[in-house]
A = this chain, B = another copy of it.
């Protein structure tokens, strides 16, 4: 209880609308270094984890395995990801960022989110804190 003025349904609508528009806006910005947002996200997950199977990476990115196959294929074309066979399980594949992939990520660490960062910087510290906590909550909800 202590329900706020805004009902859950209304919150759902406005939150979804806000996120939809925000997301479009983020995607409108030209991909950094020829990597799309999706590809960059996958590559980042991969580097953070060290090495993952396609399924694990798909789960981490919340997409279906065939979708990840395509994303990985594009990253592999560019030589950013390497595919090695699993030592014991012949079905599995192990994915890892290559030297070039890590270089790209490092290179973009500063340039990353070049559209978004200045706009966040223009907000008040309280607003940024709200967004920081919201990001955590959204991750939790998406994961549920």
Interface of A toward B, CB cutoff 8 Å:
1-4, 6, 8-9, 11-26, 28, 37-38, 41, 44, 61-63, 109-110, 112-113, 116-117, 119-123, 125, 127-139, 141-144
Contact = CB atoms under 8 A, between A and B. Distances in A.
A17 to B, nearest CB: 6
A2 B117 CA distance: 17
Nearest to A123: B137
Stoichiometry (number of copies):
2
A23 B109 CA distance: 23
Given A16-B26, A113-B12, A117-B9, A130 B137 contact: yes
A39 to B, nearest CB: 12
Given A119-B144, A137-B123, A128 B8 contact: yes
Contacts of A13: 112-113
Given A8-B121, A116-B12, A21 B128 contact: no
Contacts of A25: 62, 141-142
Nearest to A25: B142
A18 to B, nearest CB: 4
